Each structure stands twice: as C-alpha cells, then as structure tokens.
Amino acid sequence: MPKLSDVLAELEALWPPARAEQWDAVGLVCGDPDAAASRVLFAVDPVLPVALEAVEAGADLLVTHHPLYLRGTTTVAADTFKGRVVHTLIRNGVALYVAHTNADTADPGVSDALASVLGLRVLGPLVPDPTDPAGRRGLGRICEPREPMTLSGFAELAARSLPGTAAGIRVAGDPDAPLRTVAVSGGSGDSLFDQVRAAGVDAFLTADLRHHPASEAQQASPLGLLDAAHWATEWPWCVQAAAQLDEISDRHGWALRTDVSTRVTDPWTAHEPARPADIHPPVPTSSPGAPR
C-alpha cells in the first residue's frame, strides 16, 4: 500500500502546484504524508457533506477542485463551517488535497474533460500557456463539433451531457445559428471574452456569466452563449482525474480504490422558469408616485 506522500507525488506530476495562479491555494490542506493511502474520493467542492461522504466511503484522501481556504485563516475551530470540515477530515484520518487552477490549465485539464463529455473535438487551448512548447496546456479549449450543430442543438447537447443541476443551461443568441467552432471553459469564464472573440468561435460554453460581460459580448458580434452551472462544468474533471489516478495505481501495483462523488454541490438548488405571461408583465395603469 502506498504512502500518502507517494500518491501526492504523482498528483503533483499531473498538476504541478507551480502552475497554479499566484492567488490560488492548492496542494495538501490537511493530512499526514506518512500515512497509508488506499482509497481516494474526487469531488468539486470541499463542503461538509462531501467530507462526510469521504468518511462514509472509508477514503483516506479527498481530492477536490476548489480550495477550502483560498485566503489565510486564523482559526480552524469546529464552530466555523470550514473548521468543521477540517475537524471531520482529521478526526477520521482523511487527507484533503486541492488541484485548482493548476488542473484548469493542465493537459488534460478541466476543459478537456468538459469537451470530452460534450463529445467535442479539441483543437487547442483558448488561452495557451506560453511555457508549453507543445501548445496543449492553457485555459479553456477551442473545439469543433463532430457533426453539424446549431446553438439550440449545442444547448440540448449540454443539457443532456452535463450532470443535472437545478440551474440547467441558459442560452443567449440565435438558436438556429450554425456552429463551426466553439470555446468551452469549466468554471467562471466571463473574464475570457476577449480571447473568445479573438478566437473567432461561434459559441462559448462556460459558467457564472454576468449581465454586462454577456450583454457586451452579444453586442460586439453574433456570439452564442451557453451558461451552465459552475459545478456541472467542473465535475467531469473529477471523472477524468480519477481515471488518471487509476492508471497510475495500476502502473505501480498500488490497488488504490478511487471514487467520484456524485453529490450535486452547486449552491443553486431550484430554478423557477418564467412563464410566458410573466415575460411581458402588464404595465401598471397608474405608476406609484404619479400625481393624482
């Protein structure tokens, strides 16, 4: 049975911490590198239900995409919600390891996993990492559909292929527009509009799109937008990462057991679609504050 430090060395080769953004907080959050490792759970968010799932599964390592502490802290007291996670993990001998922006830009990375579940052919990174001579690492991916597709067809494909969430998929643009190339970026992608426009793609699938960047991108050029749940765009990475660790385990004869949490940890838990009658509400006959 490998030591945790043996497993972590392999994870750091997949996602070198030095390639994380400077503001990021990746690597080992808690856990003893000298402890034995036999079972690993992958998840997007290090929230308490996921920590409890790791304990329940008998995992000794929980690997998450999102950091538990992105900024420094002065307490891990169990009466704070993050401290409760730390206590739950340590008390039950579960280590927590984070691969965040270093997994985003890896080859394969978060957006490769996203493109893969959507059945898209990856052409290259949307924002290439200049330090990669092969030109495969970087943020987001430019892709082409394997068969002719419209924006509404892409939205249906995303709704069908991504894990289900209450948020579903929001769409902006002409539903009948044909898509020759698309960009995808797991997680919050609205800082990438300049690169999306420069890439000349017909549509962009990401998460957390805000009003102004989305509106301005639409005004600038006929770009189709698909806004999916943040969790749903990053969850496919967990499956990809677990498969990568399985392959490493086989190579070393470690017999590690890997699992992927299917718990939906997207914070949005319900979505009330507008009814047709609500889209054009009746104009009030007398406006408040009008002179009587």
87 is in an annotated binding site: no
Cβ distance to Zn ion smaller for residue 125 or 187: 187
**In one letter, which amino acid is 176?**
D
Residue 292 CB, nearest distance to Zn ion (Å)?
53
From 4, 7, 59, select the one nearest 36 (Cα to Cα).
4
From 27, 206, 19, 180, select the one nearest 111 (Cα to Cα).
206
Residue 110 CB, nearest distance to Zn ion (Å)?
8
Measured from each CB, the residue nearest to Zn ion is: 187
Q: Where are the beta strands (DSSP E) in 103-209?
A: 121-128, 138-144, 149-150, 170-172, 178-179, 182-188, 203-207
Cβ distance to Zn ion smaller for residue 37 or 192: 192
Number of chain residues interacting with Zn ion (CB under 5 A)? 2
Determine, following the binding rule CB under 5 A, whether residue 109 of this chain makes contact with Zn ion. no
Residue 208 CB, nearest distance to Zn ion (Å)?
9
66 is in an annotated binding site: yes
Residue 128 CB, nearest distance to Zn ion (Å)?
20
Tokens, residue 290: 């009008």
CA–CA separation, 61 vs 65, rounded Å? Answer: 13
Stretch touching Zn ion by CB under 5 A, among 145-153, 186-194, 244-252, 266-274: 186-194
Cβ(76)–Cβ(91) below 8 Å: no
104 is in an annotated binding site: yes
Cβ distance to Zn ion smaller for residue 109 or 187: 187
Q: Which residues contact 31 (CB under 8 A, 6 or more apart)?
A: 4, 61, 89, 90, 94, 95, 96, 97
Answer positive or negative: Cα dihedral of 173, 152, 150, 160: positive
Of residues 234 through 263, those in contact with Zn ion by CB under 5 A are: 234
From 245, 181, 188, 237, select the one nearest 9 (Cα to Cα).
245
Residue 66 CB, nearest distance to Zn ion (Å)?
6
From 112, 118, 144, 122, select the one nearest 14 (Cα to Cα).
112
| 3-state DSSP assignment of residue 175 | coil
Quote the DSSP letter at residue 140: E
Determine, following the binding rule CB under 5 A, whether residue 187 of this chain makes contact with Zn ion. yes
Element (H, E) at 16: none
Cβ distance to Zn ion smaller for residue 64 or 150: 64
Stretch touching Zn ion by CB under 5 A, among 190-198, 231-239, 250-258, 262-270: 231-239
Residue 63 CB, nearest distance to Zn ion (Å)?
14
Cβ distance to Zn ion smaller for residue 60 or 234: 234
Cβ(226)–Cβ(155) below 8 Å: yes
- State the binding string over 38-57 for Zn ion (x if CB under 5 A, else -): --------------------
Stretch touching Zn ion by CB under 5 A, among 76-84, 156-164, 187-195, 264-272: 187-195
Residue identified by tokens 């300049």 is 194
Quote the DSSP letter at residue 267: S
Cβ distance to Zn ion smaller for residue 129 or 234: 234
Binding-site entries for a divalent metal cation: 65-66, 104, 230, 234
Name the site residues for Zn ion (rule: CB under 5 A).
Answer: 187, 234
